[in-house]
A = this chain, B = another copy of it.
Amino acid sequence: MANSAVAAKLTELVKRFGGEIIGDDVEVTSIASLDSAEFGDLSFYTATKYSDKVASCKASALVVKQFNAKYACTQVVVKDPQLFVSRSLNVLFPRRKSCESRHPTCVIHNSADIDSSAEIGAYVVVESGSFVGPGTIIESGTVIGENVTIGSNCRIHPRVVIYSDCVIGDSTEIHSGAVIGSDGFGNAWNGKSWEKIQQIGKVIIGSNVEIGANTTIDRGALDDTIISDGVRLDNLIQIAHNVKIGAHTAMAGCAGVAGSTTIGANCLIGGGVLIAGHIEIANGITLLSGSGTPNSLTEPGVYASGVPTMPYSTWARNSMHYRRLDEMAKRIRKIEKNSVLSGMKQQGEENGTD
Chain A residues in contact with chain B, CB under 8 A?
Answer: 1-2, 30-33, 35-36, 80, 82-83, 85-87, 89-90, 93, 95, 103, 105, 107, 121-123, 125, 139-141, 143, 145, 157-159, 161, 163, 165, 173, 175-177, 179, 182-183, 185-190, 192-198, 200-202, 208, 210, 212-214, 216, 218, 222-223, 230, 232, 234-236, 238, 240, 248, 250, 252-254, 256, 258, 271-272, 274, 276, 286-295, 297, 301-312, 314-326, 328-329, 331-332, 335-336, 338-339, 342-343, 346
Contacts and interface: CB of A to CB of B under 8 A. Distances in A.
Contact of A218 (B235, B305, B311, B331): B235
**Copy total for this chain:** 3
A302 B315 CA distance: 10
B236 A236 contact: yes
Contact of A339 (B193, B307, B338): B338
Contacts of A30: 200
A270 B202 CA distance: 24
Contacts of A141: 123, 125, 141, 143, 159, 161
Contact of A95 (B1, B83, B198, B291): B198
A86 B195 contact: yes
Nearest to A176: B161
